[in-house]
Amino acid sequence: MPTRADVVICGAGIAGIATAYYLTVHHGIRDVVLIENERPMTLTSAKPIEGYRNWWPGPGDAMVRFMNRSIDLLEGLATDTNNLIGLSRRGYLFATTDASRRSEFQQVAAEFSALGVGDVREHLGNGTTTPYTYTPDAPISQQPGGVDVIANRALIEQHFGYLPAATRVLLHARRCGWFGANRTGMYLLEQAQQHGATLLRGTVAGVQVEQGRVAGVHLVQDETPHTIKTATFVNAAGPYVQDVGRMLGVELPVYTEPHFKIAFRDPAGIIPRHAPLIIWMDTIRLHWTDAERAQLAAAHDTRWLLDDLPAEMHWRPGNEPQSVIVAWTYRTAPMRATFPLTIEPRYPELVMRAMTSVFPDLAQYIATTPALEYDGGYYTRTQENRPLVGPLPIDGAYVIGALSGFGLMGCVGLGELITAHITGGALPPYAAAFDLRRYAAPDYQRLLTNWHATWQL
């Protein structure tokens, strides 16, 4: 058990690991201790759909600039490791059957382009000659950036003929895809350990503060208390970031909400293996037999299943052969994080029923719902769904949290940013947008009252 450290990090999820990686590998700070009471990458970090994207709404371009930087770093990591992390770039494909939404898709594409996602290309079937290409297995360096808006039925049929025949408008955000969460986390952790980081199994019990600055961290390991003297403490506690913040007397403006996903086998190949990540932008109406409808209507707590349910169900080919991964948040509410996470018993069945509303042939798999894989984790969020990365009011204390659904895709950018704060390095233009101190600005408080972000998962 070390008695001193240059930096102590609470949490060995992807945020804590990325912080240790940048401190050790890129800044040569060898005396870094990670404290985790579970195995690394165990909680929410192990449960994502593994997507990444530079497709982020305003206000302002902070999220796009940050994610472009993080994707730059991910692509560099993929190159340096012969793509050990399994980085793909097939894009995110937003789809609707409502032809009247074409102008909305065009407007959104223009707005996001202005924020920095790249150029807009339109394929509208009105004589325009802008070429559209989709080569899912081409190297990342050969993939286009920007965004394509497609309202040309022939193009939709040519490239995405497996979608419902009623599909009328697509928006293909191109600097998006997915990569392996566990492979990435374990690689970063191994590199950090090779450069001096130490991983301790234990629970942070308190932070010692003397004269307004961090002096040590108290932990419990195998029911035995220990103290590590340090001047720098990083709260990377994921869904417990609020609890750890309170150890320092700091109240963080965050809440947690559960999110789930399923994976099912698709031996019939209804979802092609070359598909991008697809987001269904139409509301969902579940299919029920007359008897089922009557039964659901009779009970107050199930009647909502007969209504139109939220859009933005999304799916992609899984990492295993014949596997498809689906995530759909049809209802959620803030709740305190508790583990093991309790998943709504009907969630797998409801997701499969929702998928059959798009792909009726998937109905053949509903009978095998109990055999599906399903899991979930907690999104820890701020009101405006932006992270907290930077110093806390106690000298030597930092936070990297509120990473919502973007902790994995932003991990290397986040690790780079928090390390710049810790080491006194140059901060990027987007740093202030993620700093806890933003909430003290009256202009920001006014902005929060009218914050209406759309087109984010």
Q: What CA–CA distances, in Å, run from 71 to 117, 118, 128, 356, 412?
A: 12, 14, 31, 33, 8
- Are residues 355 and 276 part of one domain? yes
- Share above pLDDT 70 across residues of the chain, in percent, rounded to a whole number: 98
456 pLDDT above the threshold of 80: no
Structure confidence by residue, pLDDT tens digits, 94-105: 999 999 999 999
- Are residues 318 and 277 part of one domain? yes
- Are residues 334 and 189 part of one domain? no
- Are residues 261 and 369 part of one domain? yes
Domain end: 321, 349, 377, which one? Answer: 377
339 pLDDT above the threshold of 90: no
31 pLDDT above the threshold of 80: yes
- Are residues 352 and 285 part of one domain? yes
Residue 249 domain flag = yes
Distance CA 198, CA 202 (A): 12
43 pLDDT above the threshold of 60: yes
pLDDT class of 371 with cuts at 50, 70, 90? low
Residue 436 domain flag = yes
- Are residues 437 and 301 part of one domain? no
Prediction pTM value: 0.96
Residue 59 domain flag = no
Residue 327 domain flag = yes
Count of the separate structural domains present in the chain: 2
Domain end: 359, 377, 395, which one? Answer: 377
Q: Which of 70, 46, 35 shows the shortest CA–CA distance to 414?
A: 70
- Are residues 260 and 249 part of one domain? no
Domain end: 377, 408, 437, which one? Answer: 377
CATH code for position 15: 3.50.50.60
Residue 138 domain flag = no
- Do residues 121 and 135 lie in contact, with contact meaning Cβ atoms separated by under 8 Å? no
- Are residues 262 and 214 part of one domain? no
Structure confidence by residue, pLDDT tens digits, 240-276: 999 999 999 999 999 999 999 999 999 999 999 999 9
pLDDT class of 129 with cuts at 50, 70, 90? low
Domain, as residue range, for 213: 7-50+181-254+382-449
pLDDT class of 127 with cuts at 50, 70, 90? low
Residue 130 domain flag = no
- Are residues 400 and 297 part of one domain? no
How high does pLDDT run on average in the chain?
95
Residue 223 domain flag = yes
128 pLDDT above the threshold of 90: no
26, two tokens: 């890129």
Model pLDDT, residue 6:
99
- Are residues 324 and 275 part of one domain? yes
Contacts of 19 (CB under 8 A, 6+ apart): 9, 234, 236, 400, 414, 415, 418, 419
- Are residues 279 and 355 part of one domain? yes
Residue 338 domain flag = yes
Model pLDDT, residue 177:
98
- Are residues 432 and 372 part of one domain? no
Model pLDDT, residue 309:
97
